[in-house]
Structure 1
Amino acid sequence: MAISLDKLVGFHQKALSVRSNRMEVISGNLANANTPGYKARDIDFNKAMKSAQYNQGNQGSLVKTHDKHISGRSQMQAEIEFRIPTQADTGDGNTVDSQVERNNFLDNGLRYQAGVMMLTGKIKGMKKAISGGGQG
């Protein structure tokens, strides 16, 4: 019986990728908290994961326009959207709320760490299954 690593870790790998991308976007927001006219952005994690599941169901295959082109798989696209402001305009057009960004950064970081722990557990379980669980 063949073991599919994509089935074992695929979802968790995609989730970690989205979380990592989201961390970069939130970091950019924090870095630009005092930049006039800067608009806060974010990645909708649930929407990105639904997109990943849809692409997985369609095998994410790319259309080849020539027989000699290499077959490939499309990457999950996490759409970056502008965040709806939660604070009154301060007059400079900047929509970054530092407290909200810090909370989102911490929450996303904790969820990323939890995802790493789950993925580590799956890999340890697979190693245990392959090695026979330590029985010898």
Structure 2
Amino acid sequence: MAGSIFGIHGAALELRSQRMGLLTSNIANAATPGYKARDIDFAAALGARMQGADSGNAVAGATRYRVPVMPSLDGNTVELANEQMAFAENAVAYSATLSFVQGRAERITRALRGE
């Protein structure tokens, strides 16, 4: 029921939240030797989610390792500036999607109250 009420935005919010966790992990491991930065191909994950995959499988199938522009000597592929930019971009998109979902929930609540 919730999926039909919020449509693609409910799935997008869930995926953006999971992407936020992955990007946070990349940033936290920027100095960890051998750490391989990962990200979610958001379009692929959302497509899989809309075709009925659960969010765990959608994310797993759309997770990609980052290819660094300038590889480090210790094997770490985190490029902090890129991770911070991706994090900020995802945070803005998360906020916009959340605002839409909240607006939809408020409209449904008003309709149920008969306002």
Taking structure 1 as the reference length, the TM-score comes to 0.75
Select which of 8, 24, 29 maps to 1:27: 24
Select which of 5, 9, 22 maps to 2:6: 9
The one-letter amino acid paired with 1:36 is P
Structure 1 window deviating more from structure 2 (27-36 vs 8-17): it is: 8-17
Tell me, what secondary structure is at the counterpart of 1:89? Answer: coil
Structure 1 window deviating more from structure 2 (122-131 vs 40-49): it is: 122-131
Give unmatched runs, 5+ long, in structure 1: 61-74
Select which of 57, 65, 81 maps to 2:64: 81
Taking structure 2 as the reference length, the TM-score comes to 0.88
1:105 corresponds to: 87
Cα offsets for 1:59-112 (capped at 9, x unmatched): x6xxxxxxxxxxxxxx22212221122x22221111110000001111111111
| Alignment of 1:92 onto 2:74 | yes
The one-letter amino acid paired with 2:65 is F
1:68 corresponds to: none
Greater Rg over alpha carbons, structure = 1
Q: Are 2:36 and 2:77, in contact at CA under 8 Å, matched by a contact in 1?
A: yes
Tell me, what secondary structure is at the counterpart of 1:96? Answer: coil
- More helix, by proportion: 2
Tell me, what secondary structure is at the counterpart of 1:37? Answer: coil
- Taking only the aligned residue pairs, the percentage that are identical comes to 35
RMSD: 1.4
Q: In structure 2, how many angstroms separate the alpha carbons of the residues matched to 1:5 and 1:53? A: 13
